[in-house]
Structure 1
Amino acid sequence: MPDRQRADARRNYARILAVAEEEVAAHGTDASLEQIARTAGVGSATVRRHFPTRWALLEAVSHERVEALCARARELAGRDDSRSALLEWLDDVVAYSVTARGLAATLAYDGAGVGSVHENSCTAALEEAAGPLLRRAARDGAVTPQVTVAELIALIVGIALATEHHPDPAAHADRLFRLAVAGLSPQG
């Protein structure tokens, strides 16, 4: 959001975003844009002016969480045990994806190519932040070198979406992730 916006436009943006975070947490990615507008006390056109697409709104809602995951990846990059550092970060991504309804959908591959207008900025940020973790783990022989961050995120998205309606989605997602992790180790 440009700093040159009028004060009321900045307030509307902040109010819409706060309401959207609550609505997405409660209703997932299908949260009603009209309900968000009503609760924020603005018109639907105001919501669309700030967030021209549902995707833009979901990315904005996820931005803070994604930034926290990126910071966590940078923090873990200095750990001695590269596999442990990578798995700890991936655990964090699983936990965020399961507890923050809508985050998994914003990380899902949408078919847009690199450099596309529709490129997924959330996934791109996570890939950039986690790249050093994965490269180091691969260099240390702790993870197969062919694995990419994009593939790991796709795996987590699948797990989060598959467990979304489970009675205990966090525990079930963790179990499925643990099963998948066994396949990350190089054959030796």
Structure 2
Amino acid sequence: MKRQFLRAILALCLSLLLPLAAQALPFTFTLSAGPAGGVVSGAPGQTVGWGYSLVNTDSSNWFVPTQLSAASFSIATPDASYFDFPVLAPGATANALFDQLAHTGLYGAQIFPFAAPGQSDSGFFTLSGEWWSGDPLAGGLFLQASDAVLVPLTLQVEAIAALPLPGSLALLVLGLGLLLARQRARQEGTQLGFGLG
């Protein structure tokens, strides 16, 4: 009788502790922003952005990203609509380069036209999600919310390269043309006998 009672207590303890142990599993994923170091730069008025590499390092559970945010920007308008929230099977990786036309990547930012060269913003991207026992679209069971992962970001404003004004270039060509014409006139004038001074 005493053994049956101890077995019942042990079974009860295990039934209470096993779900807690399952909740405490060290589910992990990694996120990195591209280019390396999360540093992007662009000219005032330009749209730039970050690509990503997202890896589900867990060997048996599925990862579903649910929330992406970034530090506030003082020199640009942020755009989180590039991220496609890929559902990752165990051990799977998702990669995307930033492409403004294809609208792919992690995050975009349009630098303000009045941003001054040398200004920058720094902070972090924050990504969190959920862990599932299987494909969430095919009967997988929700296990737990993930811890958030922070990835550093830096946005820098480049100096605009100085270009010659179209008027300056036209004046330069005109001036060279007049110099060549004067040189020709001198040469022809000397051959004819009258020296142009």
Q: TM-score, normalised by structure 2?
A: 0.27
Q: TM-score, normalised by structure 1?
A: 0.28
Bigger strand share: 2
Bigger helix share: 1
Q: Which has the higher contact order (CA 8 A, sep 6+)?
A: 2
